[in-house]
Amino acid sequence: MDLILGNYHDNIKCESFLDPETGRIRVRPLSNQGLPTNIVIECSSKERKAHPIGTKFRTENVKVCKKPTGRTYLYAKDKMIYKL
């Protein structure tokens, strides 16, 4: 699936994982939602760190964004994620 900058995707289920490149806890979409599972969801670091790696979350909606350096990512509305 091609991600279009500025588009929103609603009610995404996701999980936390340890990013081997940065050593930080990140969040990524779960499979079978029409989103790549190798993209990072930018969200609350407090929520990510408050739960063990592998915790499942949901977001109300995410926006497709791109960093000036070229990295595409998803931005959770108000950076909020909710534990499932």
pLDDT tens for residues 38-58?
999 999 999 999 999 999 999
Question: Residue holding tokens 């109300």?
Answer: 60
- Which one, of 51, 79, 83, lies nearest residue 63 by Cα? 79
Enter the DSSP assignment of 74: E
pLDDT for 4-15, tens place per residue? Answer: 999 999 999 999
Report if residue 3 sits inside a domain: no
Domain containing 52 equals 8-83
What is the Cα Rg of the chain in Å?
12
Report if residue 19 sits inside a domain: yes
Report how far residue 41's alpha carbon sits from residue 58's, in angstroms, rounded to the nearest whole number.
Answer: 11
- Coil/strand/helix, residue 9: strand
pTM for the full predicted model:
0.90
Report if residue 29 sits inside a domain: yes
For residue 21, is pLDDT > 90?
no
Report if residue 2 sits inside a domain: no
CB-facing half-sphere around the CA of 79: CA atoms within 13 A: 8
